[in-house]
Homo-oligomer: A and B are copies of this chain.
Amino acid sequence: MTTLRALVLGCSLKSGAEESSSDLLGRQILDALADHDVDGELLRVADRNVKFGVSTDEGDGDGWPAVREKILAAQILVIATPIWLGQPSSVAKMVLERLDAELSETDARGRPSMYDKVAVVGVVGNEDGAHHVIAEVIQALNDVGFTIPAAGSAYWVGEALGKVDYKDAGPKPDTTGASVKDLAANTAHLARILADKPYAAG
């Protein structure tokens, strides 16, 4: 069995050393993927000086090209994002906009650059919004060429109008934890069979 590569993009609004609940869920997804022979790393986007734009390189010290190299080198992309006002973080949206450029990029076989890659989503918030965040993120990723495995998301939110963060809410093995396990098994399986049998050239 070939070892696969996963990249988790942590889309917290916070940079630096501050703890992030979305990073925590991202790391749990990485750990679960490791059980299926997938290596990987998490990268906090807010630390990388990524610029607003819809090209592969906005120049002027833009941090995106380095992130993009890591995406190209991976078979699996995980977007880990917090919820704000029931919606994905602006950092997650900035990432999706940068990936929009891939619609015009092709690989060595003339196919869109993200074909055969599998994408999934991890979402956390104090309260309500996860389903919609998942909808936004998978629609955009699917649009640019990623394949979405069965049950390709995992999330945690508290009761309506709650204020507790995922990192402080204690372990959730029976709900979010169970989703993470299913997500990891399906993601690794799908990425592996697509690596073995890629989509046809367009």
Nearest to A194 among chain B residues (CB) is: B193
A4 to chain B, nearest CB (A): 15
Expressed in whole angstroms, the Cα–Cα distance for A50 and B87 within the complex equals 19
Contact residues in B for A167 (Cβ distance below 8 Å): none
Name A189's contact: one of B15, B146, B175, B199 (CB within 8 Å): B199
Chain A window 3-41, contacts with chain B (Cβ cutoff 8 Å), 1 for yes, 0 for no = 000000000011100000000000000000000000000
Chain A window 128-142, contacts with chain B (Cβ cutoff 8 Å), 1 for yes, 0 for no = 111110111011101
A53 CB within 8 Å of chain B:
yes
Contact residues in B for A142 (Cβ distance below 8 Å): 138, 148, 150-153
Interface residues of A in 120-169 (CB under 8 A from B): 127-132, 134-136, 138-140, 142-153, 155-162
Expressed in whole angstroms, the Cα–Cα distance for A133 and B142 within the complex equals 14
Copies of this polypeptide in the complex? 4
A residues near B (Cβ < 8 Å) are: 13-15, 46, 52-54, 84-91, 93-94, 96-97, 100, 112, 114-116, 127-132, 134-136, 138-140, 142-153, 155-162, 172, 175-176, 179, 182, 185-186, 189-190, 193-194, 196-197, 199-200, 202
A85 to chain B, nearest CB (A): 4
Expressed in whole angstroms, the Cα–Cα distance for A29 and B136 within the complex equals 24
- Residue with the highest number of chain B CB atoms closer than 10 Å, among A53, A115, A136: A136
Name A135's contact: one of B139, B182, B194 (CB within 8 Å): B139
A37 to chain B, nearest CB (A): 13
